[in-house]
Amino acid sequence: MLEPAAFLAAFATLIALANLFGALAARVGQPRVIGEILCGALLTGLAACLPHRPPDELAPLIDATAQLGLVIFLYGVGSELARSRATERASSVVKHVAGATVPPFGLGALLAVGLAPRHAPGSTASFVLFIAGAMSVTALPVLARILDDRSMTSSPAGTRALQAATFTDAIAWTMLAVIAATTTTGGHGGSPWRLVLGAPYLVIMFAVVRPLYRLHLRRGARQYTAVAIVCASSAATEWTGWHFALGALIAGLVLAPPSTADPGRREQAPLRLLRPVGALLMPLYFVRAGQQIDLSDVDVRLAGETVAVVIAAVAGKMGGCYLGARWSGQCPRAAMTFAALMNTRGLTEIVFLTIGLRLGAIDTGIYAAMIVMAMVTTAMTGVLLNRLPPGAPDAHLPVPSDHHPQENHGTNPEPGNFQA
């Protein structure tokens, strides 16, 4: 039996190393997640050289702790998705959404078809769908934070970007839900009938849980009620064959306060209670994500595939967003700003990839390549925004170096202020 001291010592060590590497990354102007993932990859390499490895019972406990951080994080992402729902008609941004979704999805699918013979661990269709969806992801919470720092959230440019990111991420997460319910290698049995269970689950969450929770909230409900709902929703999606993370995301959509709620009412959201826990555990989650990168798989061919993945991701997302913005009538400089913002993958992409690896939709080789892509596109955002021509709209938006669900930098905490 694993002694509590061993778990606590390992937890303390990983948290300390995660914060150290994250701080080093922030010092050079990069997101902390880049340092945390590099920390995990280095720990994996060092562990292979150690004569005595950590006890086998330790990894499941660390994983479970890190996955609790993932549940909290995705609950915040779901709240952000609900909070940034379109305030204009969807038809007014359809060209932006099409540019942000169709080209990256198409390039991702074409690339995945070529990579499938070497990297698809199970169904080729699931592999292609997953890679295409991963190419389409935008880190909505990061985008929301950037716009909020410039007081642009309610501006036409900010609204368009948030709407496009909301739609593209909703599509990507929907595809992941389909993959989770139908995969034959994810450890759930892979029976297609599990997908049918999603319908009554969604009906219960939106038609029963949401109105009851809001009624409960008006009567002065404590925040712990929402915490229980989030955990129960995650358990339900995991049991039905979907990934538990999807349950946390859906709980965020369901429990988000209505858009008409006054600031005092929005303050009652349980994110105030969960935010410190997420800030503590998310670094651990990304260290564990880095530890899943198998350095022994690196060869010349994988390096070439990684370059192809990065090129396809940047060309599909930025090229498509630029064309979509120009199609909608924006000037070249505004279109380039929109493209640079939408190219941000952030932590959302890395979470997406770790779920795909756990489900068995991708193997460790393409996982490593896609992690590199997520880190490169995240690091590119600040550089691109700072290098846009002078006078470009929104050209010099600050990019937060710490993309974790940490302290709120405003005077009024918002329920969706989780950084991805």
pLDDT at 76: 80
Token pair for 146? 């950037």
Q: Nearest CA to 397 among 406, 384, 409, 407?
A: 384
Answering whether pTM is above 0.75, one says no
Residue 252 lies in a domain: yes
- Which of 166-170, 180-184, 195-199, 263-267 has the weakest average pLDDT? 263-267
Confidence category of residue 223, pLDDT binned at 50, 70, 90: low
Q: Quote the number of domains for the chain.
A: 1
Determine, yes or no, domain membership for 73.
yes
Give residue 379's pLDDT band: very low, low, confident or very high (50, 70, 90): confident
What CATH number is associated with residue 74? 1.20.1530.10
- The one-letter amino acid code at 201 reads Y
What's the pLDDT tens digit per position in 114-138?
999 999 988 899 899 999 999 998 8
User: Is 297 domain-assigned?
Assistant: yes
Distance in angstroms between the alpha carbons of the first and the last residue of the chain: 36
Q: Which residue range forms the structural domain that includes residue 244?
A: 67-387
CA 70: distance to chain centroid?
Answer: 9
pLDDT at 416 over 60: no
Q: How confident is the model at residue 414 (pLDDT cuts 50, 70, 90)?
A: very low
**pLDDT surpassing 80 at residue 215:** yes
**Does residue 83 lie in a domain region?**
yes
Q: Which amino acid is at 240?
A: T
Share of the chain above pLDDT 90, in %: 18
Residue 416 CA to residue 393 CA, distance in Å, equals 26
- Residue 51 is assigned to a structural domain of this protein: no
Closest CA to 347 of 104, 50, 80: 80
Question: What is the spatial distance between Cα 334 and Cα 395, in angstroms, rounded to a whole number?
Answer: 8
Asked if the structure places residue 335 within a domain, the reply is: yes
Report if residue 14 sits inside a domain. no
Q: What are phi and psi of 259, to 5 degrees?
A: -60, -20
The answer as to whether 323 is a domain residue is yes
Q: Is 189 exposed, middle or buried (0-12, 13-18, 19+ CB in 10 A)?
A: exposed
What's the rounded Cα separation, in Å, for the pair 374 and 368? 10
Taking residues 345-363, report their average pLDDT. Answer: 86
